[in-house]
């Protein structure tokens, strides 16, 4: 199980912002710079960091950071 704090650290690296903390309710609109260009960068960084792999189908379903966290934890 990874925590939201651990996930926040990946966000900090991808969005180059040490202060950034995310909550499970966050969506792409709540994080500056989280657009279609950075979305896949974020997913790749998560895959690498936690040694998991997403598939096309599930990435379409992610709406919130909570969805992302649940998916990661289901793969660990």
Residues found near other proteins in the complex (CB under 8 A): 35-37, 39-40, 43-44, 54, 56-57, 59-61
State the minimum distance, in angstroms, from the CB of residue 40 to other proteins.
4
Rounded CA-CA distance 31/15 in Å is: 9
Q: Where in 1-76 does DSSP place strands (E)?
A: none
How many CB atoms are located within 10 Å of the residue 19 CB? Answer: 5
Our CB check for other proteins shows the closer of 6 and 40 to be 40
Rounded CA-CA distance 13/60 in Å is: 23
Our CB check for other proteins shows the closer of 19 and 57 to be 57
State the minimum distance, in angstroms, from the CB of residue 1 to other proteins.
25
């Amino acid at each position: 199980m990874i925590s939201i704090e651990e996930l926040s650290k990946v966000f900090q690296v991808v969005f180059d912002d040490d202060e950034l903390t995310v909550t499970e309710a966050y969506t792409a609109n709540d994080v500056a710079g989280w657009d279609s260009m950075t979305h896949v960068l974020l997913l790749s960084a998560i895959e690498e960091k936690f040694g998991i792999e997403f598939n096309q189908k599930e990435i379409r379903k992610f709406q919130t950071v909570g969805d992302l966290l649940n998916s990661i934890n289901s793969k660990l």
